[in-house]
Amino acid sequence: MKKILCFAGSNSSVSINKKLITYTARLFENNVAEILDLTNYSLPVYSEDIEKNEGFPEDLKKLKSVLDTYDALVISVNEHNGSISVFFKNILDWLSRLEYKFFQDKKILLLSTSPGKRGGATALEYTKNILPRYGAEVVGDFAFPSFQENFSVTDSKIVNPELKIAFQDVVTNFTELL
């Protein structure tokens, strides 16, 4: 049985990526999947001056400690103007200063969603390319398109049958690689 940590790279209280993560965490049978809310970790915008004068924030150390206790991660990244959110980028920046290979030996399933037909594919692609620098092994990814049309928030489930099968296949493949 593996421990899987699931979180969204969003700081929005109404994040559709958080809704997708909540749904996804329920799919990991025979494993322990837990959801983390990154907004519980308060980090200032990264600055060399802050690092030099104040050191590493306590919440950063706590977050790194939590990440270290899991075997694998599922991350759903949101897209802001064709890139990842500043919120998530800031977390990556801080973690990489604390320990450059902070995702060392972690298998990661990357997800993204958006209201549009591309499902946050640009942010997903960026994240897929950057995380290996930090030691991550990205073993699967899925851009979930047109969230409001293909997902029922009320029932917390995928309503498009083809997407549901494709999504489940990605989750199953990820689980088998653990």
* Domain CATH code at residue 35: 3.40.50.360
pTM: 0.97
Task: Specify the pLDDT at position 85.
Answer: 97
| pLDDT > 90? residue 72 | yes
| H helix runs in the chain, sequence order | 16-25, 48-54, 58-68, 86-98, 121-130, 147-150, 161-177
Domain count for the chain, please give it.
1
- 6-34 pLDDT, tens digit per residue, is 999 999 999 999 999 999 999 998 999 99
Question: Which residues form the domain of 110?
Answer: 3-177
Spatial strand order of the sheet with 72-77 comes to 32-35, 3-8, 72-77, 107-113, 137-144
Q: What are phi and psi of 137, to 5 degrees?
A: -110, 100
How many angstroms separate the CA atoms of 166 and 142, rounded?
9
- Angle between helix 86-98 and helix 58-68 axes, rounded to 10 deg: 80
Q: Which residue's entry shows tokens 């706590």?
A: 62
- 121-176 pLDDT, tens digit per residue, is 999 999 999 999 999 999 999 999 999 999 999 999 999 999 999 999 999 999 99
